Amino acid sequence: MSVLRRFREDGNLPNLTPGQPPELPEPLDTTSLFERERQALLKQLLQYPFVYDKYRRLTLVDPQLPQSTEFLEEIAVNVRELAERQCEWGCAALCSRQRVEPECEGEALFALGWFFPNHISTTGANLRHQYEHWFPSSLEVANYLLENAHQLRERTQALVEAIYGSSLPPEVADAISAQCSTLIKCTWWTKAGHFGVWEGLGCCGFHTTDITYQGSFPIISLFPDLQKMQMSHGATFQRADGRVHHLFSPDFSMVDNGFDRVDMNPQFVMLVARDYLWSGDRDYLQRLYPHVVRAMESTLQMDTDGDALPDSDTGRNTYDVWDFQGSPSYICSLWLGALKSAVRLAQEVGDADRATAWRTLYDRGVQSFIRELWNGEYFVLWRDGELVDECCMSDQISADWFFAVNGWEPVIPEDYIDPALDAIMRHTFRPGEGLRNASYPPGKAHRLAASGNLQADALWTGIEYTVAALLIARGRVPEGMAIVRDIHDRHLRAGRFWNHVECGDHYYRAMSAWTLLNALTGFAWDAPRAEMTIAPRIRAPESRYPFFTPLGWGIYTGIDNAKSSRARIALKEGEMRLHTVRLPHWRGSRPVTVKMNDQALRVQVTPDGQGIAIHLPTATSLTKGHEMTIEG
């Protein structure tokens, strides 16, 4: 109350109270103190709100009263009483006093910092925090923030404006930004440099491989070193037989025994491919390539009939209370995606023999996938010899989602992707209720493992976003947005806008919402080839979209009308080397002119789909503040 009384009366609050009790002489004989000693002691005590309140009230009655030895002795008694009660010291208040006229506004700048050196694992180890390498105290944190407030605020607002000031549908902007809150709320970054995302806030463990597969797109885009860090550390726990780890628990010193989940090996391979192709980090690829080889060889052992598809030990997976058997479409799709990714990785490291072998397996596997699992309408849940489960699973062509949002060529022939999506929308999506993980179409025989299964019937927003992103990437924007808006409306009604629950709060998988951005912009980035692609799915006379890579982010602005087309690529942060820019939806006429910061460039322009590809003679760096313009 001593703090609030002063605030109520004059709008002022005391400074931050020291966290330690006053240092009083023992014994305290105020009569023997010199005047300057009494004033120094009084100055120290007035930092505490309960002292200041008494001082001020006495001053109003008689200014001489708080200067008396009796006042100091009374305060000393109060301090001793608080110490005997073992009270914790600390009382903070902030206030900026200003007069705000009617219909005007005011702004107060303040800094809030913290420093908790102790981060104790349940193992008893003190993991501490990464920020200790940069700041020795919370005061230093606050000083840094205040000294750099303008720059930090400007950069932060630029990111917000890039998303919300763009042509993205508002539900997509909300989904992207809301799920990024998980990065702040659900991550550990220890002093030793280990990083991981909780699968659910305080639930399961960290860097769950089968969830990182869907949820890590914003991490590799915004904080690439953290994504590569959790992948590299996870790889050190790969089992001798090539099985990839499931999750870290209870900290980063050990993993659980979830090696039986057969979707993780192919997901690991695709993640390594994405991280490398987006970052261009050859050291990362060299470190993880041996783990990729072991993961591939391990999964290949699951093919017992030589058709290049896994067909044994395929039960356990990310749907952890829903086991499969035989050759499941979900697992086989991932395997085909891993084979195609591994071919590129092998080529990058010069492993020609494995590149050829994996390419041969991929070609044979695609044929087997269609022959064994396509029922004429969609890919069945699984086939095991003569047995078949024709449940329609939303995640049946998961690898094609992963490839589409990376801007890679499809995994399976395109003739099968859209019909499969048609069936998924027809059988698993119910407007107002959401996209279920799976459903039996009318007339299809039910099997016990899937029929009425909790996870088959469930709505997992992390999966809903992936199906929506694949639809959008295929140009089916209205259907994809129907799923996104359904998620948006459901969670607003439930008051769970930032908290998507699957197994624990703020679930990591829902961060797959970031891939809606790549799908809508048609953005792709290949760092080793210095190749960028932008193909917005929503055609408009004018459009503005952000793009993000591990090396930098920027804004694409397009003008597309009957007279001419114009594109501008402006980099806001970082540096990107460009050798080829692909604009598959370009409708401009020839000739095409290209400028870098208003200086004309000599380029070669070739057809690319319905649009063009622009080839620079040599790779050119696009740095912060620079822009490339294309007109035709």
Domain of 596, CATH number, reads 2.60.420.10
CB count within 10 Å of CB 482 equals: 16
Q: Per-residue pLDDT tens for 198-218?
A: 999 999 999 999 999 999 999
Concatenating the DSSP letter of every residue in 166-210 gives: SSS-HHHHHHHHHHHHHHHHSEEE-TTS-EEEEEETTEEEES-HH
For 510-546, give one letter per residue: b (16+ CB within 10 A) or e. Answer: bbbbbbbbbbbbbbbbbbbebbbbbbbbeeeeebbbb
Least confident of 41-55, 162-176, 594-608: 41-55
Whether residue 75 has pLDDT greater than 70 = yes
Q: Do 507 and 580 lie in a common domain?
A: no
pLDDT value of residue 13: 62
Of residues 408, 402, 407, 618, the one with CA closest to residue 530: 618
In a shared domain, residues 300 and 433: yes
- The reply to whether 483 falls in a domain is yes
| Neighbouring residues of 199: CB distance < 8 A, sequence distance ≥ 6 | 205, 206, 208, 211, 247, 503, 504, 507, 508
% of the chain residues with pLDDT over 90: 77
**Domain endpoint, select from 492, 519, 546:** 519
Same domain (yes/no): 222, 333: yes
Nearest residue to 392 (alpha-carbon basis) of 342, 436, 333: 436
Tokens representing 426 are: 């027809």
**Least confident range of 45-49, 156-160, 544-548:** 45-49
Of 88 and 549, more confident: 549
Burial of 374 (0-12, 13-18, 19+ CB in 10 A): middle
Pick from 570, 609, 605, 571: which is nearest to 589 by CA?
A: 605
* pLDDT for res 4: 64
Measured over the CA atoms of residue 359, residue 361, residue 367 and residue 373, the dihedral's sign is negative
Structure tokens at 134: 């940069």
What's the pLDDT at 5? 66
Any domain includes 109: no
Does residue 308 sit in the same domain as residue 403? yes
Within a domain: 240: yes
531-533 and 565-583: which strand pairing? parallel
Question: Per the structure, how many domains does the chain have?
Answer: 3
What pLDDT is recorded for position 236? 98
What is the pLDDT averaged over residues 157-163?
96
Average pLDDT over residues 154-175: 96
Peptide bond into 66 cis (omega under 30): no
In a domain, 149, yes or no: no
> Looking at the DSSP assignment, which residues form a beta bridge with residue 453?
none
Residue 96 lies in a domain: no
| One domain, residues 449 and 495 | yes
Looking at the domain assignment, is residue 132 inside a domain? Answer: no
Predicted pLDDT of residue 364: 98
What count of other Cβ atoms lies within 10 Å of the Cβ of residue 503?
A: 16
| CA gap 344, 563 in Å, rounded | 40
Say what the pLDDT of residue 88 is. Answer: 57
150-160: average pLDDT? 93
Looking at 84, 113, 131, the residue that finishes a domain is 84
Number of residues that this document lists for the chain: 632
Q: At what angle do helices 69-84 and 49-61 cross, to 10 degrees?
A: 150
Domain extent for 290? 154-519
Which three-class secondary structure string do you get for 326-364? CEEHHHHHHHHHHHHHHHHHHHHHCCHHHHHHHHHHHHH
- Residue ending a domain, among 464, 489, 519, is 519
Per-residue pLDDT for 91 more than 70?
Answer: no
3-class SS string, 588-629: CCCCCEEEECCEECCCEEEEECCEEEEEEEEEEEEECCCEEE
pLDDT in tens, 309-341: 999 999 999 999 999 999 999 999 999 999 999
Q: Are residues 594 and 503 in the same domain?
A: no
pTM for this entry: 0.88
C-alpha pair distances (Å), 97 with each of 94, 100, 110, 150, 224: 10, 10, 12, 21, 42
Average pLDDT of the chain to the nearest whole number: 92
Q: Are residues 332 and 224 in the same domain?
A: yes
Do both 61 and 173 map to the same domain?
no
The residue-averaged pLDDT of 421-445 equals 97
Q: Among 221, 254, 25, which residue's Cα sits nearest to residue 127?
A: 254
Residue 174 sits in the same domain as residue 225:
yes
pLDDT band at 85; cut points 50, 70, 90: low
H-helix segments, 460-548: 461-473, 477-493, 515-521
Co-location of 202 and 325 in the same domain? yes
| Positions of E strands within 275-342 | 327-328
Among 64-78, 160-174, 378-392, which is the least confidently predicted range? 64-78
**Separation CA 546–CA 167 (nearest Å):** 9
Question: What pLDDT is recorded for position 25?
Answer: 72
Residue 127 lies in a domain: no
- Note whether 426 and 552 are same-domain residues: no
Long-range contacts of 349-355 (CB under 8 A, 24+ apart): 349/285, 349/286, 349/289, 351/289, 354/293
- Please check whether residue 139 lies inside any domain of the structure: no
In the prediction, which pLDDT does 234 show?
Answer: 98
**514 and 555 co-located in one domain:** no
Residue 149 pairs in a beta bridge with: none
